[in-house]
Amino acid sequence: MKPESGYSPAKILSQSGATLIVLLVFLASTGKAQHLYSYVDPLIGSRGGGNVFVGPCCPFGMVKPGPDCSLHSTSGYVGDPTVPIMGFSQVHTSGTGGGPKYGNISLMPFMGDFSSTHLSSLRSDEVASLGYYSVNLKRWDVKVEITAAERVALYRCIFNKAGKAGVKIDAGFFLGEEPVPNYREAQQFVGSQVQILSDSSLDGYTRIRGGWNNGNTYTVYFYAIFDRPFVGYGTWKGEKIAPGIRTQYDSGEKTGAFLYFDSRGNDTIGVKVGISFISSLKAGHNIGAEVPGWDFSKVEQQARDKWESLFDRVVVDGTPDQKTMFYTALYHTMLMPVDRTGENPLWLSFKPYYDDFYTIWDTFRSCDPLITLIDPSRMVSIVNALLNIYEHDGYLPDGRSGNCNGRTQGGSNAEVVIADAYMKKLRGIDYDEALVAMLKDANIPPGGGQDKEGRGGLSDYNRLGYVSTKFVRAGTRTMEYSYDDFCIAEVAKGLGRYSIYRRFIRQSNNWKNLWRNIEDHGSRGFIMPKDESGAWVDSFQCNIQYRRRTYVRYTPLTEEWPLCVSWWSGFFYEATSWEYSLYVPQNVPELIKKCGGNKAFEKRLDTFFDNGYYHAGNEHDFLTSCLYHWIGRPDLSSRRTREIIDKRFTSAPDGLPGNDDSGAMSSWLAFHMMGIYPNAGQPYYLITSPFLKKTVLHLEDGAQFEILAKNLSDKNVYIQSATLDGRPFNQAWILHKDIVKGGMLVFNMGPRSSKWGDKIMSPTFR
Amino acid sequence: MKPESGYSPAKILSQSGATLIVLLVFLASTGKAQHLYSYVDPLIGSRGGGNVFVGPCCPFGMVKPGPDCSLHSTSGYVGDPTVPIMGFSQVHTSGTGGGPKYGNISLMPFMGDFSSTHLSSLRSDEVASLGYYSVNLKRWDVKVEITAAERVALYRCIFNKAGKAGVKIDAGFFLGEEPVPNYREAQQFVGSQVQILSDSSLDGYTRIRGGWNNGNTYTVYFYAIFDRPFVGYGTWKGEKIAPGIRTQYDSGEKTGAFLYFDSRGNDTIGVKVGISFISSLKAGHNIGAEVPGWDFSKVEQQARDKWESLFDRVVVDGTPDQKTMFYTALYHTMLMPVDRTGENPLWLSFKPYYDDFYTIWDTFRSCDPLITLIDPSRMVSIVNALLNIYEHDGYLPDGRSGNCNGRTQGGSNAEVVIADAYMKKLRGIDYDEALVAMLKDANIPPGGGQDKEGRGGLSDYNRLGYVSTKFVRAGTRTMEYSYDDFCIAEVAKGLGRYSIYRRFIRQSNNWKNLWRNIEDHGSRGFIMPKDESGAWVDSFQCNIQYRRRTYVRYTPLTEEWPLCVSWWSGFFYEATSWEYSLYVPQNVPELIKKCGGNKAFEKRLDTFFDNGYYHAGNEHDFLTSCLYHWIGRPDLSSRRTREIIDKRFTSAPDGLPGNDDSGAMSSWLAFHMMGIYPNAGQPYYLITSPFLKKTVLHLEDGAQFEILAKNLSDKNVYIQSATLDGRPFNQAWILHKDIVKGGMLVFNMGPRSSKWGDKIMSPTFR
């Protein structure tokens, strides 16, 4: 997604940096190797529109406890410390754009009598490291420390002052609340409940609908246990505060509870908040199963160990800054989708259940391939979860959150995820069923608003071979469906379903039906809008939102938004034709031919990058910097990629070029730092100059694959030659199977472009 | 729906009859007028496929506690006393066919130690009256008595023997469970939970998906309070019984609790079971709000009073048997949809919420018009609930249950309900929004399997003017959509939206596009299947379910089921072309013309009835016996209607001609007993010979309308002449507005057909 207006970086970095330095000094003094997890800086991407979640979290963890500073922040967090903290809710998304989702069950300490649910405080001394977050709430002089198990958040509230100490647990809080309840993408309150169960425990839930994906109602249940008895308590419903009342049943109003303690000063109160999507009892069970005791450090260390076991699979060498960027990128990639196995309130199944696909259009290109490389078993679980969703909800999701499909951005890109798994030979997936699920997308229109699931505009696509301007996002849909169809064809061919293969390999050429032979800025041929009758559409009518009703000429550089209509209603989603006209991952040679051959294509790519038509923050452009590979110029791919990373990625809080999109930006970066980049859905990686001196992949099957960049320096950024297992290796791509079987890929780096890898890419790798 | 294989009537009637006689004797002795509710016999329609619910229930009440004798019975009940009772669950449907729904939270008393969840018992002494059900469980020698508030069931378990008395509360029980979990229309278990809260209370829930309408997951929460402390208790999960364990959290297994008491013999234990679709606390709140004490008779009387206040609006005179049939019919009509206002877990709204529309295709013809006549405020609430569902779920339902749209039978018949309300000038409905909701049905294909909501085959219908054989139920859909379009046109015209009116009044002729000029059994012209190209389809291919793959010739008498495909996959839903070719309620004069004029039409109707092509148990035939009106022969309408009622309706347990379908059969009967019958969606009633000597309608606005059939007897069944407010009244129809303004309609009855009412029906009443 596009970056949104962000906040300027501030003190927080130096604090985080300070922590790191202390840690480094400590480790240096003990002589112990630094844990890889210590390189993770959760604040990267927390400003400048990255929208990442900054609190503690296990890999793919269900609970994401962290500060909420704005109802309009999708992660809850706002880096600017002049924006107060409203509370700490237990469920968040990471890196997302659009309307918020979650932000449920908000905890907030306070001092004195509870007289209002509004307890916002300014902050200081904010610290975020992997598995840990702490902050000082200036208004209350309370330090809050948080760590997280899979489904349980653990808090320590240190009340510095003596007096009446309080903790609020708010079942009425959620992100994205709007005064107009049905406001587009606003979360909407449905109900809530709390009950104080004993002198140290309570439970309840919050029930919310809508939000980013216009989802059905979801319910977040909690069970909270304090490490000492309350000395007083109360609850509230709506505006009515009820001291001493234990129970508020759900009558469609906001409820919550407040608990009092005596603080002698510098007094720590611990709280465990178990979360469940099933029931409060299940949330309580989750506490018993995951965090039976009160050892904060142990829970923190368990989270770190889980991450470390993943990071251990990709041991890299580089500068501390590079390592910070790299491991933080891996971290961001594995925050979502969320493993909710055993927490699915919608159906009973012994298969894994994942939620928060946000969206596959964003993640299929680099997130899923990175998970496949590091943790293929996890990817098998995720694909099986997708198929399980198809079985029970009827369609594979593109977007899914709050247990509901919704917000299909481009097309039915789960096809690419399945094909990627199939082509990389992941075992433990019923590919016959997967093919049926993909065919559902390709054959059965989803109906209604056509943005919940499946393929919007499918009736056009299957009749005309393109989506006409009768439908929104017609350009994006046509381009994505063409590639999705290629992915179906691959799987069908592999399964011996040749008639299906023939249909879909033919349809994978559908992008050509929107290829219009016009010139723009020296390049010829663009994907342009066409109406149902087959006539090209030269202009479109603006909506009247901006108080004018004018026709806008559609050119390859036209952006519908903010000029006129929203991205959702435009011809391309978050893109111009310059961008999507280069998106033909199924057949780049044919694209090159259409563009007028190698020279014209090179010039076109140069124009694209030099004129700033490229957008690092938009996923459809992810492959574009590598397209030089197909004209035998991987050196130019490397140069462009390096320019992008140098310009748009840093280890600072604003170090991501836009919404991280569930790790999309981060995983793109991580691949390129290693020097390989996938063409998702196909079984190979393109090779570009690594940023890291060394990458050692400890593969799940036991093999080890090493990528070594000899003589790599700030100047020596071009591959001069390469060997694989000691033998000369002159192709600028490598098959997935050649990585997973283990080996050593060595690059000799030098300061200038070389002829290495000028072997033209073969058109397909089937 | 079609009648299903039933059980032969047995002893139960005489028991019920005995109760009635005792009551009558009592009332006669006190000189007090008999309460109208005492005429209700809940057992009518409990055998022979009527599938009615036999337990106690408030009007449109959420809780329907009653015996479950078979997992395959949609009401839970089986009249045959050789079939044991498994337990008494709290939520049921009435009169439905297809796969079961609900049957949640099963209570069962027992004696001795709890060693199995299977506690089935044979029964004796079954008594069912309005607001009351009791039975003796022979195996345990326990009498169970049940009454019901809106959301709370109240039980009295009388343990005749001394010893260890037990009550099981089973959160794992539900109707329609199948060994194959995804079996079509089977309910599927998702999860359950129980916890014992004190020495006399417990709560929990059951979570179920699927069932009849392939619905999403719904959760039925309960809170149960006993009138004395347990002396022991236990719970179970799956196969594991856990004596003394209070809590079973939801891990996707079946759970329940058993409570022990000491019985001294002839010992009564009272249980209140509050139900909620929101939470267990809300279920507990419902108990407090509705049944704070333990007075069984008071709760029973409250239910009776609620019904009585509705029955008081239609005071009739006739034989006791006629009154039994009539008030039972009213009772059946007002069991569903279910008022769940404040119990909607899906969204927050201050508008009413109703569930269990089962389906509108079944109910729009006579149920909804009868509710409109008796209780227009209720109908306004129901229509507003439909619009509220449209607002939040995107489509008006045809079928809806378990908080989910699903099982569209014919078409988007909510249009008729809205038009009926509009044409009868019900106030308090936003008809502008209603028009938008109807246009959604008419414009936006529902996608997916096309049987959840909206109009399946709409792309054909809007392009070709009919639904082609590419889609299932193409004949039914075309015929219903044509009438739905007429209903849209009416409302659009009334609202001054003339371009919409013109489109839909044109489309209301779409039935003609399937009119094929062929002859069958002496009549000419039938609605027949046509393919996408416009060619008539003469035969269809059987599916291979019955191990043959043959072509079957499609004739006006062809029934696809059980011959070949299911009703859902045939050309007509539950009908032959003979039946649906007579279904043009929007323009009978044009239908008569198509059939060859009045003489041919009369002959056609005679053939239809004499040859047994009419099916009393199928809703599309409901208007057919009145079609003689349009050729000036209301006497023949009366004769045919009388034949049907005499042959197919009685006051016995098998006294309904098929599934009652949420009161569809019952309301059809009730109208004809009064002597008026609606053409739903249009503002008039057709007049046929009454069965009741007198009907006094006490209308909501205060007016009174009386229908008097002078000289009515078994022989004098034809209207000879009529007066309205003393003036001669010679038309065989009356406008709704002329009824609600009050008045007196007097018929002089005689033994022979007369010329009365031979004025030809005007084509429309707009």
A445 touches chain B (CB under 8 A): yes
Q: Are B197 and B299 contacting, i.e. CB atoms less than 8 angstroms apart?
A: no
Query: What's residue A766's pLDDT?
Result: 37
Measure B248 CA to nearest chain A CA, in Å: 8
Q: Are B269 and B261 contacting, i.e. CB atoms less than 8 angstroms apart?
A: yes
How far apart (Å, rounded) are the C-alpha atoms in residues A529 and A534?
A: 10
Contact A216/B346, CB-based, under 8 Å? Answer: yes
What's the maximum distance between 2 C-alpha atoms anywhere in chain B? 79
User: Can you read off the two tokens belonging to residue B131?
Assistant: 């607001």
Residue A683: cis peptide before it, omega within 30 degrees of 0:
no
Q: Contacts of residue B189 in chain A, CB cutoff 8 Å?
A: 348
Cβ-nearest to B445 among A189, A345, A445: A445
Query: What's residue A764's pLDDT?
Result: 52
Average pLDDT over residues B657-677: 97
Residues 212-241 of A with CB under 8 A from B: 216-217, 219
Does residue B15 surpass a pLDDT of 50? no
Task: Give the full edge-to-edge strand order of the sheet including A314-317.
Answer: A314-317, A694-698, A704-710, A743-750, A718-724, A727-728
How far apart (Å, rounded) are the C-alpha atoms in residues A414 and A386?
A: 8
Closest residue on chain A to B455 (Cα): A447
Average pLDDT over residues B429-446: 97
CATH 1.20.1610.10 in chain A, residue ranges: 313-687
Q: Are A500 and A435 contacting, i.e. CB atoms less than 8 angstroms apart?
A: yes
B207 touches chain A (CB under 8 A): yes
Tell me the pLDDT band of B33, cut-offs 50, 70 and 90.
confident
Tell me the pLDDT band of A2, cut-offs 50, 70 and 90.
very low
How far apart (Å, rounded) are the C-alpha atoms in residues A126 and A144?
A: 10
| Of B203-207, B238-242, B347-351, B756-760, minimum mean pLDDT range | B756-760
Indicate the average pLDDT of chain B. 93
User: Can you read off the two tokens belonging to residue A473?
Assistant: 């996002």
Q: Contacts of residue B284 in chain A, CB cutoff 8 Å?
A: 249
Counting Cα atoms < 13 Å in the Cβ hemisphere of A360 gives 29
Query: What's residue A24's pLDDT?
Result: 47
Query: What's residue A232's pLDDT?
Result: 98
Tell me the pLDDT band of B569, cut-offs 50, 70 and 90.
confident
Does residue A6 surpass a pLDDT of 80? no
Residues 630-659 of B with CB under 8 A from A: none
Does residue A248 surpass a pLDDT of 50? yes
Average pLDDT over residues A694-704: 97
Does residue B264 surpass a pLDDT of 90? yes
User: Can you read off the two tokens belonging to residue A760?
Assistant: 């033209």
Report the amino acid identity of residue B588: V
B462 touches chain A (CB under 8 A): no
Query: What's residue B546's pLDDT?
Result: 52
Closest residue on chain A to B443 (Cα): A448
Top pLDDT among A563 and B41 is at B41
Q: Contacts of residue B275 in chain A, CB cutoff 8 Å?
A: none
Query: What's residue A33's pLDDT?
Result: 75
Measure A383 CA to nearest chain B CA, in Å: 21
Does residue B110 surpass a pLDDT of 80? yes
| Of A738-747, B5-14, B349-358, B436-445, minimum mean pLDDT range | B5-14
Contact B348/A247, CB-based, under 8 Å? Answer: no
Average pLDDT over residues B603-616: 97
* CA-wise closest residue to B629 among B752, B523, B733, B525: B733
Q: Are A231 and A262 contacting, i.e. CB atoms less than 8 angstroms apart?
A: yes
* CA-wise closest residue to A117 among A148, A86, A139: A86
Q: Are A660 and A95 contacting, i.e. CB atoms less than 8 angstroms apart?
A: yes
How far apart (Å, rounded) are the C-alpha atoms in residues A658 and A665?
A: 8
B449 touches chain A (CB under 8 A): yes
Average pLDDT over residues A457-478: 96
Closest residue on chain B to A449 (Cα): B444
Measure B386 CA to nearest chain A CA, in Å: 18
Q: Contacts of residue A446 in chain B, CB cutoff 8 Å?
A: 447-448
Topology (CATH level 3) of domain A313-687? Glycosyl hydrolase family fold (1.20.1610)
Contact A347/B278, CB-based, under 8 Å? Answer: no
Tell me the pLDDT band of A411, cut-offs 50, 70 and 90.
confident
Average pLDDT over residues A320-333: 98
Phi/psi zone of residue B492: left (φ > 0), alpha (ψ -120 to 50 degrees), beta?
A: alpha
Q: Contacts of residue A247 in chain B, CB cutoff 8 Å?
A: 281
- Residue keyed to tokens 């209308």: B699
Query: What's residue A621's pLDDT?
Result: 97
Measure B52 CA to nearest chain A CA, in Å: 29
**Best residue in B205, B348, B462 to probe A by mutation, most A CBs within 10 Å?**
B348
The model's pLDDT over B121-159, given as tens digits with 9 standing for 90+, comes to 999 999 999 999 999 999 999 999 999 999 999 999 999
Q: Out of 1.10.1370.30, 2.70.98.10, 1.10.357.10, 2.60.120.620, select the CATH number for domain B12-177+221-230+265-310.
A: 2.70.98.10
Contact A447/B459, CB-based, under 8 Å? Answer: no
Indicate the average pLDDT of chain A. 93
Q: Are A475 and A574 contacting, i.e. CB atoms less than 8 angstroms apart?
A: no
Contact B188/A281, CB-based, under 8 Å? Answer: no
Query: What's residue A31's pLDDT?
Result: 47
Helices A320-333, A296-311: crossing angle, 10 deg rounding: 100
The model's pLDDT over A60-70, given as tens digits with 9 standing for 90+, comes to 999 999 999 99
Q: What is the CA radius of gyration of chain B?
A: 26
Look up residue B38 and give its DSSP letter: G
Contact B346/A209, CB-based, under 8 Å? Answer: yes
Tell me the pLDDT band of A541, cut-offs 50, 70 and 90.
confident
Tell me the pLDDT band of B78, cut-offs 50, 70 and 90.
very high
Contact A281/B193, CB-based, under 8 Å? Answer: yes
Q: Give me the residues paired with residue B695 across strands.
A: B316, B707
Cβ-nearest to B279 among A189, A249, A285: A249
Query: What's residue B740's pLDDT?
Result: 97
Q: Are B660 and B51 contacting, i.e. CB atoms less than 8 angstroms apart?
A: yes
Q: How many CB pairs under 8 A join A and B?
A: 110
B187-196 vs B201-210, strand pairing mode = antiparallel
Query: What's residue B764's pLDDT?
Result: 53
Contact A447/B445, CB-based, under 8 Å? Answer: yes
Tell me the pLDDT band of A568, cut-offs 50, 70 and 90.
confident
Average pLDDT over residues B575-601: 97
User: Can you read off the two tokens belonging to residue A210?
Assistant: 């809508």
Average pLDDT over residues B637-653: 97
- Residue keyed to tokens 């891990």: B251
How far apart (Å, rounded) are the C-alpha atoms in residues B747 and A409?
A: 67
A121 touches chain B (CB under 8 A): no
C-alpha separations of A23 from A16, A37, A652 in Å: 11, 12, 18
The model's pLDDT over B86-106, given as tens digits with 9 standing for 90+, comes to 999 999 999 999 999 999 999
The model's pLDDT over A177-235, given as tens digits with 9 standing for 90+, comes to 998 877 889 999 999 999 999 999 999 999 999 999 999 999 999 999 999 999 999 99
CATH 2.70.98.10 in chain B, residue ranges: 12-177+221-230+265-310
Q: Are B588 and B682 contacting, i.e. CB atoms less than 8 angstroms apart?
A: no
The CATH class that applies to domain A12-310 reads mainly beta
Tell me the pLDDT band of B543, cut-offs 50, 70 and 90.
low
Counting Cα atoms < 13 Å in the Cβ hemisphere of A430 gives 12
Cβ-nearest to B250 among A207, A219, A282: A282
* CA-wise closest residue to B300 among B126, B158, B157, B149: B149
Average pLDDT over residues A606-631: 97
Residue A562: cis peptide before it, omega within 30 degrees of 0:
yes
CB atoms within 10 A of CB B228: 13
Contact B345/A217, CB-based, under 8 Å? Answer: yes
Query: What's residue B13's pLDDT?
Result: 40
Query: What's residue A682's pLDDT?
Result: 97
Average pLDDT over residues A657-667: 97
Beta strands, E only, B503-588: 515-520, 523-527, 539-541, 551-553
**Best residue in A190, A255, A279 to probe B by mutation, most B CBs within 10 Å?**
A279
Residues 325-384 of A with CB under 8 A from B: 342, 345-348
How far apart (Å, rounded) are the C-alpha atoms in residues A16 and A36?
A: 16
Contact A190/B345, CB-based, under 8 Å? Answer: yes
Query: What's residue B31's pLDDT?
Result: 47
CATH 2.70.98.10 in chain A, residue ranges: 12-310
Q: Contacts of residue A444 in chain B, CB cutoff 8 Å?
A: 447-449
A274 touches chain B (CB under 8 A): no
Cβ-nearest to B447 among A193, A347, A447: A447
Average pLDDT over residues B538-567: 76
Query: What's residue A517's pLDDT?
Result: 97
